[in-house]
Amino acid sequence: MDMTLVWLVSAFLIVAGLVGLVAPFLPGTPLIFVGVAFAAWAEGFARISGWTVGFLAFLTIVAWVLEYVAGLLGAKAAGASRAALVGAAVGTVLGVVSGLWGLLFFPLIGAFAGELYARGDALKAGRVSLATWIGILIGTIAKVVIGFTMVGIFLGALLF
């Protein structure tokens, strides 16, 4: 296989992954991982070791878990009802298909609606939805940091 093509495909996947760190329609860290793993495999793991690829796989899983669990943990920490957790999850799914603003605010709205339905307390529902939103923000920040760390590890393996 032509190495120029390998590096172009790898670079495309990594750049798409970087975009995906903030764009809801692209899986950021998995794309970064696939780009790095493809480059490592194509070069016979000469510059990018199997250990490095394994560590990046671990970081990919951690980023995915943090992204999807952080909002739910925020809601749970605020004493959210099961209905609020379901509402936040439904809001997250709807947010993914509706773009960035939907991804930012639909989980908040879903948690609010679920908590209001379950307990009928608008103040409590507001606290739960805010905690959900903060959890989602923390998860997103963690995902971005992990994604850029993955790229840094990749570049470090190539250059040193």
For 67-84, what is each residue's pLDDT tens digit? 878 877 887 788 888 898
Sorting pLDDT into bands at 50, 70 and 90, what band is 26?
confident
Residues 6+ apart with CB under 8 A from 146: 29, 59, 62, 63, 66
The rounded distance, in Å, linking the Cα atoms of 20 and 27 is 5
Predicted local confidence at residue 100, as pLDDT: 73
Predicted local confidence at residue 1, as pLDDT: 66
Of 29, 30, 12, 51, the closest CA to residue 157 belongs to 51
| DSSP 8-state symbol, 23 | -
Q: Is the pLDDT of residue 96 over 90?
A: no
